[in-house]
Amino acid sequence: MVRVGRYYEIYRLEVENFPEFTRIDEYLYDRFPKYTLEAIQECIKSSKILINGEHVPLNHELTSGDRITALLDKDPYTFDIVPQNIPLEKVYEDNTLLVVNKPAGMVVHPGHNNETGTLVNSLTFHYDDLPSNHNGSDKPGIVHRIDKDTSGLLVIAKTDRAMESLASQFFDHSIERTYYALVWGNLEKDSGTIEWNVGRSHDNKRLRVVYEDGMDGKPAITHYKVIRRYGYLTLVRCNLETGRTHQIRVHMKHLGHTLFGDVVYGGNHILVQNGNQAYYDLIHKCLKIMPRQALHAKSLGFEHPANKKFLYFEQALPDDFQKVIQLWEAFIQTHKQEG
């Protein structure tokens, strides 16, 4: 990077190690998260971003070896990470890595409107020299993310070697990740595989949508298996081959089974009707107990960067999720007795 005056910064990048069919705007947005996608797109339109010295359209797909020159406005949201003494629930730790159980409601790393209270704020308080990923020093130790209102397991790199090894495992999809999700409706099949591209919505850039024709978005694969049926809701286990943003939430919604409580994708409304008042009372009670998407990163398995042994961790459902499940277990038992 070369700074230019008070208002612009020039970035020069060579494209390497990225998924196929990656658009230039998505590539830069991933690497410069402090800039909005809209800001990056405006720079592309105004020829402030060139590929191999030439102007390209927004939907231009990159190839390995492409050279990017980007003249970007100085980031108005630049800030220093504030170390905060926020407790970490450590599941495992050694000299190389750390596995934590992230609570729902905690953002993984700082960003606009989320400068404090994040996992990174906590990590920088407890650790002095965590490595940085390709996105820069605002995400020390961070190899992957889960959404703010998703709970569960995350692995943190404590050394450069661990960062490189874990990032490589995520890139080649060798990491084992299992999520538990409570979804609306009664799934037709006991198990299945969803293979639909996932990408940004053209109407709302903050949302992800499915592109079944594969002409947009990125390849995404989710394997699911029914754990428990409640008639109106279903508890499913999801295994990820890929890790697209909102992947499970978007795949299940497109399948017709939006995650229970998912405010962003409409799961916080009653999507399955029933004339029984006790049912509606239960729904409202559950949404009050767990006012978030019912999604938990339950297990995580990977090769240790140093000794190459396979590590596997499981984390029980958090209290709010467990309470909702208990209420539904009681409801279906009562319903069976009345039937």
Give the span between the Cα atoms of 159 and 303, in whole angstroms.
15
| Model-wide pTM > 0.85 | no
Domains of the chain: 2-73 (3.10.290.10), 90-171 (3.30.2350.10), 176-338 (3.30.2350.10)
Question: How many other β-carbons are positioned within 10 Å of the β-carbon of residue 160?
Answer: 12
Structure confidence at residue 335 (pLDDT): 72
% of the chain surpassing 90 pLDDT: 59
Q: Are 147 and 109 in contact (CB under 8 A)?
A: no
| Per-residue pLDDT at 164 exceeds 80 | yes
Classify 35 as helix, strand or coil. Answer: coil
Q: For residue 11, give Cα distances in angstroms to 8, 40, 68, 203.
A: 10, 13, 8, 29
Beta-strand relationship, 221-229 and 233-240: antiparallel
118-136 confidence digits (pLDDT tens): 999 999 999 988 887 544 4
Dihedral (CA of 289, 110, 73, 55) sign: negative
| Per-residue pLDDT at 161 exceeds 90 | yes
End-to-end Cα, the chain, rounded Å:
69
Which one of the listed residues 25, 66, 147, 262 is annotated catalytic? 147
| Per-residue pLDDT at 17 exceeds 70 | no
Structure confidence at residue 33 (pLDDT): 67
Structure confidence at residue 3 (pLDDT): 35
For residue 248, give both structure tokens.
């499970």
Neighbouring residues of 122: CB distance < 8 A, sequence distance ≥ 6: 84, 85, 86, 87, 88
Structure confidence at residue 213 (pLDDT): 83
Mean pLDDT of 235-249: 95
Structure confidence at residue 112 (pLDDT): 64
182-211 confidence digits (pLDDT tens): 999 999 999 999 999 999 888 887 889 999
Structure confidence at residue 28 (pLDDT): 87
103-112 confidence digits (pLDDT tens): 999 999 887 6
Mean pLDDT of 2-31: 70
Told to judge if 30 belongs to the known catalytic residues of this protein, a careful annotator would answer no
57-98 confidence digits (pLDDT tens): 888 888 888 999 888 765 545 557 889 999 999 999 999 999
pLDDT averaged over the chain?
88
Closest CA to 182 of 299, 329, 328, 294: 294
291-328 confidence digits (pLDDT tens): 999 999 999 999 999 999 999 999 999 999 999 999 99
Question: Which of the pair, 139 or 213, is modelled with greater confidence?
Answer: 213
